[in-house]
Structure 1
């Protein structure tokens, strides 16, 4: 989680710097540089959205894992002695 927080903070710093640079570029003289800067800002936005989605998925998987553990433990305990209860089981 700390890594995601650091990455988000770095993205915000880079985005802020890009936005400041964008304001310094003359729209007529620096069209290419402005377009590239806008594209980089958009990429940072989408990277941030991907990071949020990955974090949510990771948290959901952890929650699902925690919810499944009691069920799996019950099934393991319930089925551990099925051989002794099954009259047709011949062993081995």
Structure 2
């Protein structure tokens, strides 16, 4: 999952950069054609931000699954039954640790 961090960061950072470029063009009083181009880039950045968020959610899901596996191993649980209070609490703790 660490190999996707650079790609995910680049995708997420693209949005604010293109948005700021549009603002600079507008404040500088540049041609309307240039503003149209930066608006197109800004629209594309909205899609890339969504993709970047998808990468982030996917990595969190995989890491939480791996940490849940470690919890099951360390707790000595032979079968994973999500209705078991210990397994449920362990899963919740893992998700809260990743979120916080």
- Given the two structures, how large is their TM-score scaled by the length of structure 2? 0.50
Task: Name the counterpart of 1:71.
Answer: 77
What is the CA distance between 1:68 and its match in structure 2? 2.5
- Given the two structures, how large is their TM-score scaled by the length of structure 1? 0.53
What is the CA distance between 1:8 and its match in structure 2? 2.7
Alignment size in residue pairs? 73
Alignment partner for residue 49 of structure 1, among 24, 40, 53? Answer: 53
Moved more, 58-67 or 33-42: 33-42
Q: How does 1:1-92 map to 2 (within 5 A)?
A: 1-12=1-12, 14-15=14-15, 18-19=18-19, 21-22=21-22, 23-24=24-25, 28-30=32-34, 32-69=36-73, 70-72=76-78
Structure 1 unpaired stretches of 5+ = 74-92
In the alignment, the residues of structure 2 paired with residue 55 and residue 7 of structure 1 have an alpha-carbon distance, to the nearest angstrom, of: 12
Task: Name the counterpart of 2:88.
Answer: none
Structure 2 unpaired stretches of 5+ = 80-100
Counterpart contact for 1:27–1:34, Cα < 8 Å: no
Q: 1:60 to 1:31 in 2, by over 3 A?
A: same
Deviation digits for residues 37-85 of structure 1 (CA, Å, limit 9, x no counterpart): 1211111211221122112111111122122232128xxxxxxxxxxxx
In the alignment, the residues of structure 1 paired with residue 13 and residue 56 of structure 2 have an alpha-carbon distance, to the nearest angstrom, of: 17
